[in-house]
Amino acid sequence: PYDLELAINELLDAWERDEVMNLDCYLNEVQASARSVSEENDAWVRWYYVQYGWRHGHD
């Protein structure tokens, strides 16, 4: 959905800008927007973006 895509893009942009002070706000937006997809996809989005699953293997 568009709202989830927008929230993810805003999170990635904030991360790239190193906007640490507001990062939690962007993470909350992603988590809230992920509720609009199936439970399985919601769990994956939360793991990958909110819980930093994308970092596994990149440290």
- Residue by residue, pLDDT tens for the chain (59 residues) are 999 999 999 999 998 998 888 889 999 999 999 999 999 999 999 899 888 887 665 54
Q: Is residue 14 part of a domain?
A: yes
Q: Is residue 59 part of a domain?
A: no
- Residue 23: burial class (beta carbons within 10 Å; 0-12, 13-18, 19+): middle
Res 51: pLDDT:
85
**DSSP letter (8 states) at residue 45:** H
41 three-class SS = helix
Domain count, the chain: 1
pTM recorded for the entire structure:
0.81
Res 19: pLDDT:
83
Q: Is residue 23 part of a domain?
A: yes
Res 34: pLDDT:
94
Q: Is residue 26 part of a domain?
A: yes
For residue 17, CA distances in Å to 34, 35, 58 come to 23, 26, 19
Give the residue numbers spanning the domain of 17.
2-53
Residues near 22 by beta carbon (within 8 Å), at least 6 away in sequence: 14
Q: Is residue 58 part of a domain?
A: no
